[in-house]
Amino acid sequence: MTMAATGDEAAVLTRVDGGLGRIELNKPKAINALSADMVTIIDDTLTAWKDDDAVRAVLVTGSGDRGLCAGGDIKAIHRGIVEGTNEAVDFWADEYRMNHDIAHYPKPYIAIMDGITMGGGVGISVHGSHRIVTETSKIGMPETGIGLFPDVGGTFLLARIPQKGVGMHLALTGQPIGAGDAIRYGLADTFVPRERIEDLASAIAGSDDDVDAVIARFAEEPPASELVADEDWIASAYDGDTAAEVVAALRAHADERARAAGDLIATKSPLSVTVTFEMVRTAGDMSLDEVLERDFRAGSGISAQPDLREGIRAQVIDKDRNPQWSPASLDEVDPALVTSILSTEQTRKVFS
């Protein structure tokens, strides 16, 4: 096992407690944002525990009280783009391989989606077999606001939300949802109050009972869905053939919340919104592995465009919250550019 996983100052803490393998993301000041070394530690640990009979299940948590994981280390991605290195591409390849390993893990993989769980945080949780939310959960894929798209297999998940248009709404707006909506839309399974999480972990570690049975003893009724009241206008407004049509329909809608959603999408990167629209629209017919490979190609392609660099600069580096997108509007996005991004030739593959 990776030695960096030991010690209180390590970015990821791992231990085996009873029959429970525990992985704790340990960068609370950064809301446990995933760095390259963290991805390596997590994946190496999962590999080591896969055939270890002493580990019956895996539990993933985040340190601190702000969230499981705010996403990937986008400052490192920005640095790689600015310096012209392979840092971003290398990170994505390793991250997406980890997402695949989580989705196909042969033992119960229990993710505590407490607090902020966004972007890469969704990748280390929602692909797992047991997704637990609390009253503080805020789950989302906000990538269109930085010039990217919902990666880590996010479009695979969003495309499979059964309620019409909801997956596209979450993808384009980047708005987070709470515990009730996460369960309603299939992004989480069980609600357990935050104060009972450690008791749940101890119960799983100390019991020979089936993990499902233990979790069921701690499960409570989730909060009511907040987005359910908007499902009618979401179903109608997101029925357009292009992202531009969707935004126009939202802005012309009688419902004030629909108009606000249209205005919100219009502040995002037009290129990212258009790429995301196409990715969600087509991901329903793809396997997770196919989506992750496409994420890798598209990440390489979109990082060659100016918006990802500009979006991270505006939101995280300079924090002026005033990105200058190029192209500046949805109508100016060349469909041929979107096609080229989604089909970017990449000699490397996530799964070789």
Based on the residue annotation, tell me whether 221 is a catalytic residue of this protein.
no
144 burial level (CB within 10 Å; 0-12, 13-18, 19+): buried
3-state DSSP percent of the chain in helix, strand and coil, to 5: 50, 10, 40
Q: Do residues 59 and 201 touch, judged by C-beta distance below 8 A?
A: yes
Per the residue annotation, which of 18, 62, 67, 72 is the catalytic one? 72
Q: What is the pLDDT of residues 290-336, one digit of tens each?
A: 999 999 999 999 999 999 999 999 999 999 999 999 999 999 999 99
pLDDT at 1 over 50: no
Q: Do residues 46 and 12 touch, judged by C-beta distance below 8 A?
A: no
Q: What is the pLDDT of residues 226-247, one digit of tens each?
A: 999 999 999 999 999 999 999 9
What mean pLDDT comes out for the span 114-132? 98
3-class DSSP state for residue 20?
strand
Apex 165 CA angle, 246 and 297, nearest 5:
80
Q: Which helix (H) or strand (E) holds 46?
A: helix 36-50
Per the residue annotation, which of 120, 121, 167, 311 is the catalytic one? 120
Q: What is the pLDDT of residues 153-180, one digit of tens each?
A: 999 999 999 999 999 999 999 999 999 9
Per the residue annotation, which of 151, 181, 293, 295 is the catalytic one? 151
Based on the residue annotation, tell me whether 9 is a catalytic residue of this protein.
no
Query: How far is residue 6's CA from residue 4's CA, in Å, rounded to a whole number?
Result: 5
pLDDT at 3 over 50: no
Q: Which residue has the tokens 């999480």?
A: 197
Query: How far is residue 153's CA from residue 141's CA, in Å, rounded to a whole number?
Result: 11
Q: Which residue has the tokens 């429970």?
A: 20
Count of helices and strands (H, E) across the chain: 16, 8
Which band of pLDDT confidence, cut at 50, 70 and 90, is reported for residue 204? very high
Which band of pLDDT confidence, cut at 50, 70 and 90, is reported for residue 349? confident
Query: How far is residue 288's CA from residue 290's CA, in Å, rounded to a whole number?
Result: 5
Which band of pLDDT confidence, cut at 50, 70 and 90, is reported for residue 7? low
Which band of pLDDT confidence, cut at 50, 70 and 90, is reported for residue 58? very high
Looking at residue 4, its pLDDT comes to 44
pLDDT at 65 over 60: yes
Looking at residue 348, its pLDDT comes to 79
Which band of pLDDT confidence, cut at 50, 70 and 90, is reported for residue 2? very low
Per the residue annotation, which of 143, 230, 278, 310 is the catalytic one? 143
* Torsion sign (Cα): 309, 167, 180, 126: negative
Based on the residue annotation, tell me whether 151 is a catalytic residue of this protein.
yes
What mean pLDDT comes out for the span 80-108? 95
Looking at residue 112, its pLDDT comes to 98
Q: Which two tokens stand for residue 160?
A: 């499979």
CB count, 10 Å around CB of 233?
21
Q: What is the pLDDT of residues 244-295, one digit of tens each?
A: 999 999 999 999 999 999 999 999 999 999 999 999 999 999 999 999 999 9
Q: Do residues 147 and 269 touch, judged by C-beta distance below 8 A?
A: yes
Based on the residue annotation, tell me whether 143 is a catalytic residue of this protein.
yes
